[in-house]
Chains A and B, each alone.
Chain A
Amino acid sequence: MANDFPRSTGSVGVVAPLSARFDTPLTLKSGAVLPGFELMYETYGTLNGARSNAVLVCPALSGHHHAAGVHADAPDNTGWWDNLIGPGKPLDTSKFFVVSINNLGGCHGSTGPVSANPDTGRPWGADFPVVTVEDWMAAQALLADRLGVDSWAAIIGGSLGGMQAMAWAIHLPARVRHAIVVASAPKLTAQNIAFNEVARQAIITDPDFHGGHFYEHGTLPRRGLRLARMLGHITYQSDDLMAEKFGRRLREGGRKFSFEVEFEVESYLRYQGDKFAASFDANTYLLATRALDYFDPAGDAGGDLAAAFAPVTADFLLVSFSTDWRFAPARSREIVDALMRNRRNVSYAEIESSAGHDSFLLDDPHYHAVLRAYFDNITV
């Protein structure tokens, strides 16, 4: 049966990243003020005359604006959510105008720790202010204004991206008609914050981190970032999936009675860690994990999630994955519950998947059929 669901390989093709410059100061939740900033984004599809078909894609921890298609100068660098976005795909670019963004504090062209601090002319580094999910939302709203989007047909995000969709629905209810929150949570648990803290400590205690000003020292805290990513990777997968993918298989030569790479899983983790450390900014990683830690709409409403969701008018779709232990199905159910208490329209799917938290990036047929069914019913 699962194979009966329509699939599409339609691609948005070659896309070009865009940037928007904002010269009005942005006051952040911390009280810090960014004098101005730049946001990188991409768009797929066409904004209709009524400007009613815009969908915002919010990135997760390591995500950025390049969500679909390829760049002319990098034909192999397919966008991170390309399996979802494209003509005939669940988020169909022949119907919707899709906007994908690199958030404030990011390291893919938007203003962040690698950008020059206007006060010093040197990279912000660790001096870049701590940004929250709500700050991201505020910056995204300025981009929406610039694009002429008063109200998003939908905002979709997985994990940390789902938190951005929730923030919009709570704080800018008139500007979002549907929120699609995948593999997310209304706030992190202590265990989840603990994983983030280990990742941060790996980075901060790397001697090459230099208190976050490593750019000036011509170094990169590769070891720290690598460890942070290795840890993250373990938590984004399930025990079952790792058993299936690697088991206890040894690389060639069997046991060497050493601490070299012997098990396949070690090789995989080191590869993922190295790849990430070469392409991602350590300060951005710190900022993004902190944004995750701080997100807590219920905490901002006296501990009552339903009260926090009271301003919401958007319809919601929640999706979770059975083996996701980092953002477990029960956490999505808390959101469903808060929405029901406010008598909002909400649908919820709990997808059987062995791939853990990473499932939200994959194209499980049921998962994508759920998204397709939901998007198809959105009137524009």
Chain B
Amino acid sequence: MKIALLGNPNTGKSSVFNLLTGLRQQVGNFPGVTVDKRSGFIQLGQVQHELIDFPGTYSIYPRSKEETVVFDVLSDPGHSQHPDRIIFVVDASNLQRNLLFFTQVYDLGIPCVLVLNMWDLAQKKGITISIEALEKLFPGVPIVQSNARIGLGKDRILKAIDSIKDKNLTSTPFLNSFHLCEIEDVQCQKLEAENRLQKIKTSLTKVVETKVLEGENFSRKIDRILIHPVFGYLIFALVLMVIFQFIFSFANAPMNWIDNLFSHFSIWSSDLIPEGMVNDLISQGIIPGIGGVVVFVPQIAMLFFFISILEESGYLSRVVFIMDRLMRPFGLNGKSVVPLMSSVACAIPGIMATRTISNWKERLITILVAPFMSCSARIPVYTLLISLVIPKMYLFGFINLQGIVLFGLYSLGIVFALLVSFLLKLFIKQKEKGFLLLELPDYKNPRWGNVFINVLEKVKIFILDAGKIILAISIILWFLASFGPDMEGAEHGLSKKRSYQSLSKHEQSIAMDACKLSNSYIGILGKGMEPIIAPLGYDWKIGISLITSFAAREVFVGSLATIYAVQDDGGKQTLLIDRMRNEVKADGSPVFTLASGVSLMVFYVFAMQCMATMAVVKRETNSWKWPLIQLAFMGVLAYFTAWLTFIILS
């Protein structure tokens, strides 16, 4: 049978879910909406039952399009996800508001268990609850207490679920003559909520006893600092800095290991399999493709490690509180801040983190502008081009010009992210109005088990859902870069040349790679698009690198090295820079000038040069429509700004 897990946000519902299912969890979407559906299995006697975690809501009536899944599933007994049993989790320290949703569910007549979670917290707050008296209010509903954060209550909950197995609910509804309101009928819903709260309040006088405690609540005290107009922002900036420091210092090493591991795999498989097409496909297409997926895992895992801690501790809602006013004019939400800031490391976890934004329009805008934030994959492109075309000099004797340019590129991304959000706000229509109405939960120590499960879940989503798209695109790109209409002829032509024959073996293989790439389909495409990119100051060799770097922006550097047949000097790129400096057009003028170099950097600020981001946007919006729109508008914006830059500077 199907068991639904329901309750308000901030009741420790996911702790209860983790407690009941352990690591045997799956994540997917509820049919038709992009709401995470976490499910797992619990064992009752000899039988396994599916436990489905629903989004935490305050009522059966949705606040947003995404929350309608709760209403749809519960109100329609014919729905594929309609539960046979319900485990309803409430925060024991705030019974009154929590019971509103519970009484709605109770009145639907689906057999439930009521779990009073965070029992210890309630006691600390001076609240005592008589379970016996509460049970009298809801005949037929077993009531158990738990403290899921420290792992207490699992057996009690399972036993309770088991005990209602064969019981028929013949009891009277909590609210007399109850019927569900229409989803649009706000007045009806308001009236229902008032009636319920009224009845709950009078009923609870016999159930809950509250001792008023002396002194200010601990969380209020911390809030005086964390929400402070000055310190609040300073502390948030500090938190972000610590997170980025960690990511930049600790994600790099595992990313290099993964890179090395997969290039070893690639060499190993190419030695193992007989030479030919299959060998090439596996060793140059599939294995590097998988490597290109796995390489994102350290950054995703680390960012979600921190985001989960911020979320679990209760700090994230404070960030939303202090940032809401600043983000609102741009059609964004206080909750957009963390996804956007995460995108400075990598847009992929940033976009995955937008799930916390309940309003669809605000979430969509955040997803669409997140790739404008300059991510770490742009750094190799920026540094290469800056050292090539920006002179090493100091403004006013102390401001490093190269540094200023780098800063300018980052700022350009941020400014346009906000600007484009503002425009999108005007264009994307939506009936529902965004609102805040957010709970600021008490501060808590994060539960490491929950953090760990959350990180695991995000990594799994990325590898399974986005990974296959990334793999498919990288195989296509590999094919286009390795095959051409007359590859053999070109190779043959090169090997006949005297200049080639005089090269060492190593130099020959480098020259051969360059020849292959420029005669491949991508090479032909690059040459074909030269008239289109010539106004930006680029030639066909840059064109080829633009196409190949759709795999990932940093590929641009490696691709140029291949085309120019430059030897690898261990990542210092001095050979490549020298080679690029000497590169001339047909008329003898240099290809890389201040104008074309800066234009190229501006292009990389705006263009969606990342298939992994597109795959994740597809996963998060559940359609190809948005990633394709994003690809188009980012491409157009990149083209025109790069063109403008080139004209102004030349």
A and B pair up:
no
Which residues in B have some Cβ–Cβ distance to A below 8 Å? none
